[in-house]
């Protein structure tokens, strides 16, 4: 067991740090040189680590270095959105090898599955790999996900996925059992590894786009809740609790034009003209337009309500705004912070995600990489831990 722990620790360290000398590996992992030599020999023989000589021109001179073999197997990430389906392929270091994005023409189940297949075929072709090279698949989708079965409930913006066992359909298509995860949970994983959640024990992501959702990290771990429904923040009963559309408080992107239409009669001097669009409203606000600013201030107030709902219950250190609307930092951030200071005794810090439209894929690749690393290590190193081998090691 100790040998397995040492091998996995060295392997993970090489994946994170890149090529290292044997002496550096020993020092970083607190191992003796003889133990390090045995670990590296085992990992090299299993094809998980390779040794090479940088060459005379390198500062390391002719000393050999060791690095993890990154393409033993690959991880596949899929992001199913209401407007785009994105697919990415990553190696065992988490590096993205290829990525593709496809506009969604129809939100039917058949069209979604066909677009996913097209996307997977394309990233494999671009990276010159086949599906046989893929060890793990992680799929991000709106909705509450049954982690064991892969069944989707309350899919929200994509009705055709509601009640569908997406895990079974993906498995049938690619012959690999996928992990199906809520898309905002994947954004939260991405922020934990690469964004404003890095190093934070308690934080939340609030995504405002075509819908609204939240992800929570509590005590350093993603919190899914009893049924996987943690973060389904739309159901907080602000305003009329029986208004299923949350007309008075919903900050989703689709409602902004309607909000501008309702406020237009109060701001005759506006330069905004119908038909209103989110882009035109935000640009008008940046130019100081009265109607544009009024819409932005109302949107900020609605967003602040949901932040307050999160912060009041779990007292997170930071809330990270994501999604197409949530990332409009230049016009939304200041009014949100101002409102938060008025309605909460201990307001969290507010940050705006810098991960862009690829946040779901980044989180998916992070998890797919971890799963692929586990599978590859178990498969390649299994022979080292048979009863006979363990007896040899003990002797």
Fold classified for 196-354: Nucleotidyltransferase; domain 5 (3.30.420)
Query: How far is the C-alpha of 188 from the C-alpha of 233, rounded, in Å?
Result: 14
Each residue of 32-58: b (16+ CB within 10 Å) or e?
eeebbebbbebbeebebbeeeeeeeee
**Per-residue model confidence as pLDDT tens digits over 140-150:** 999 999 988 88
Angle at which helix 183-194 crosses helix 359-381, to 10 degrees, equals 80
| Nearest partner of 343 among 351, 355, 335, judged by Cα | 335
Q: For residues 382 and 137, which has the higher predicted lDDT (pLDDT)?
A: 137
Start-end of CATH 3.30.420.40 domains in the chain: 74-183+360-376, 196-354
**pLDDT value at residue 380:** 84
| Separation between Cα atoms, residue 210 and residue 104, nearest integer Å | 14
Backbone angles phi, psi at 349, to 5 degrees: -70, 140
Close Cβ partners of 297 (under 8 Å, ≥ 6 residues apart): 335
What would the two tokens of residue 36 be? 């390090």
pLDDT confidence bin for 390, thresholds 50/70/90 = very low
Q: Where are the beta strands (DSSP E) in 69-150?
A: 74-80, 84-90, 96-103, 134-141, 144-145
**341-356 CB burial, b ≥16 within 10 A, e <16:** eeeeeebbebbbbebe
Q: Would you place residue 322 in the very low, low, confident or very high pLDDT band (cuts 50, 70, 90)?
A: very high
The predicted structure's pLDDT at residue 383: 63
Q: How far apart are CA 231 and CA 309, in angstroms?
A: 11
User: Which residues, 6+ apart, have CB-to-CB distance to 306 below 8 Å?
Assistant: 206, 212, 214, 233, 236, 251
Q: What is the pLDDT of residue 136?
A: 97
Fold of 2-69: Arc Repressor Mutant, subunit A (1.10.10)
For 168-213, how does the pLDDT look when each residue is reduced to its tens digit (9 = 90+)? 999 999 999 999 999 999 999 999 999 999 999 999 999 999 889 9
Residue 52 Cα to chain centre, angstroms = 34
Which pLDDT value is given to residue 388? Answer: 57
Q: List, in order, residues 6 or more apart from 96 with CB less than 8 Å away.
A: 88, 89, 90, 361, 365
Task: Give the least confident one: 14-28, 48-62, 220-234.
Answer: 48-62
Helix axes 22-29, 2-17, angle to 10 degrees: 120
pTM of the complete model beyond 0.75: yes
Residue 58 pLDDT exceeds 70: no
Rounded to a whole number of angstroms, the CA Rg of the chain reads: 25
pLDDT tens sequence across 84-134? 999 999 999 999 999 999 999 899 999 999 999 999 999 999 999 999 999
Domain with CATH 1.10.10.10 in the chain: 2-69
What confidence category does residue 240 fall into, taking pLDDT thresholds of 50, 70 and 90? confident
Arithmetic mean of pLDDT, 276-304: 96
CATH topology (fold) of 74-183+360-376:
Nucleotidyltransferase; domain 5 (3.30.420)
Residue 56 has pLDDT above 60, yes or no: no
Distance CA 306, CA 395 (A): 62
Report whether pLDDT(389) > 90: no
Average model confidence (pLDDT) across the chain: 92
């Amino acid at each position: 067991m100790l040998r397995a722990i040492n091998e996995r620790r060295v392997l993970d360290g090489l994946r994170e740090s890149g090529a290292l000398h044997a002496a550096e590996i020993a020092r970083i992992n607190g191992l003796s040189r003889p133990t390090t030599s045995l670990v590296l020999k085992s990992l090299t023989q299993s094809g998980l680590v390779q040794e090479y000589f940088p060459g005379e021109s390198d500062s390391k001179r002719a000393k050999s270095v060791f690095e993890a073999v990154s393409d033993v197997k690959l991880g596949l990430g899929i992001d199913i959105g209401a407007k785009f389906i994105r697919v990415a392929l990553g190696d065992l270091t988490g590096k993205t090898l290829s990525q593709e994005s496809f506009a969604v023409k129809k939100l039917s189940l058949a069209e979604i599955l066909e677009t996913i297949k097209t996307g997977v075929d394309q990233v494999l072709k671009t990276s010159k790999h086949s599906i046989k090279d893929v060890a793990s698949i992680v799929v991000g989708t709106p909705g509450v996900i049954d982690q064991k079965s892969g069944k989707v409930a309350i899919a929200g913006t994509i009705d055709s996925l509601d009640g569908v066992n997406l895990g079974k359909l993906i498995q049938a298509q690619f012959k690999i059992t996928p992990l199906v995860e809520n898309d905002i949970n994947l954004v939260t994983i991405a922020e934990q590894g690469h964004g404003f959640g890095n190093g934070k024990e308690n934080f939340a992501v609030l995504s405002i786009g075509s819908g609204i959702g939240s992800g929570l990290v509590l005590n350093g771990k993603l919190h899914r809740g009893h049924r996987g429904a943690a973060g389904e923040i739309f159901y907080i009963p602000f305003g009329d609790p029986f208004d299923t559309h949350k007309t008075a408080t919903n900050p989703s992107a689709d409602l902004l034009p309607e909000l501008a239409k309702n406020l237009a009669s109060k701001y005759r001097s506006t330069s905004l003209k119908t038909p209103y669009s989110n882009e035109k409203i935000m640009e008008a606000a940046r130019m100081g337009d009265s109607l544009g600013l009024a819409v932005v201030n109302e949107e900020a107030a609605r967003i602040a309500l949901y932040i307050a709902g999160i912060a009041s219950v779990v007292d997170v250190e930071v809330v990270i705004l994501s999604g197409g609307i949530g990332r409009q930092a230049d016009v939304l951030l200041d009014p949100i912070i101002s409102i938060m200071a008025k309605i909460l005794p201990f307001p969290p810090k507010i940050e705006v995600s810098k991960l862009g439209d690829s946040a779901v894929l980044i989180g998916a690749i992070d998890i797919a990489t971890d799963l692929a690393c586990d599978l590859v290590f178990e498969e390649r190193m299994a022979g080292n831990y048979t009863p006979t081998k363990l007896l040899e090691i003990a002797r």
